[in-house]
Amino acid sequence: MKFGIVVFPGSNCDRDMEHALRHDLGQEVVMLWHKDRDLSAFTKDDCIVLPGGFSYGDYLRCGALARFSPMMESVIEHANQGGKVLGVCNGFQILCESGLLPGALLLNDNQQFICKNVYIKSEHDATPITKENAGESIMIPIAHGEGRYFADDATLTALEQNNQVIFRYCNEAGEIGKDNPNGSTHAIAGICNEGRNVFGMMPHPERACSPILGNTDGMKIFKSLINN
């Protein structure tokens, strides 16, 4: 699998993501500038990554302006053709703004920026990104001010019925909802689309891929996506 990482003005986790994928996981990585459009070097077996940060300074809403970047037109086409797309933190917000994922990310319920390690867990192995880590309590850092997932009741019902909730916040023992850092509805930390090829999550797995950082749990998420 080849990864393409889209760089927006204000992205600040693009190099973290590159280092994790290229050096910690040994994957081929191509950096993509937001004003370009060409994804001809990628197939539907490859993955386009929207990294964390503050694209366009988070003006209007988080991800609202990045959604209109020329590269996003190609990313949406890539996704609609079955290609894989992963959005982390601000990338998750961009996916929701672009319509590739349902719902929205709202201000944390404590109205503060949160930066700490949390635990997340997948309750099923129905998606490539959860197939090899389902049932595990995984420690991953978060760093966001607007990470509270919200959707209307009909959307939430569909997400639950279709196993589109890929990760929920939990405690170290894996108990769902016992530690919900931002007040996300149903303790949702990440979701996917109906086609199971577009994934969005608020926690940062790229910040947990190196022993020097004291945590390699993020590799469980990437390896599952790569292997499946």
Q: Which residues are catalytic?
A: 89, 204, 206
Bridge partners (DSSP) of residue 53 are 11
Q: Quote the radius of gyration of the chain (alpha carbons, Å).
A: 16
CA pair distance 193, 190, nearest whole angstrom: 11
Phi, psi for 127 (deg, rounded to 5): -125, 155
